[in-house]
Amino acid sequence: MDTILVVADDSELRDAIHVYFRNEGFFVIEAVDSLEALDLVKSISVDLVILDAGMLRTDRIQTCTEIWKMSNTPMILI
């Protein structure tokens, strides 16, 4: 089963994305910030990262760079 990591500090946005992809048959994990996302990417193989570009307390570009250093995981910034 494909695994999607949803990274967003807005719980409503996280929940909406989670429900949509779970209903489409994906396994979805969530992170509330970039630190949690990086920890998850280190420990779990994910097939796609969906990253909220509007997160307030995180550097989105740095997060993308760090994830790409660990894997070639595709990312979608929303």
- Domain tally, the chain: 1
pLDDT tens-digit series, residues 30-66: 999 888 999 999 999 999 999 988 776 667 778 888 8
> How much is the mean pLDDT over the chain?
90
Tell the burial category of 28 from Cβ atoms under 10 Å away from its Cβ (0-12, 13-18, 19+). Answer: buried
What local confidence, expressed as pLDDT, does residue 57 receive? Answer: 65
CATH number at residue 51: 3.40.50.2300
1: pLDDT strictly greater than 70: no
Domain containing 70 equals: 3-77
23: pLDDT strictly greater than 80: yes
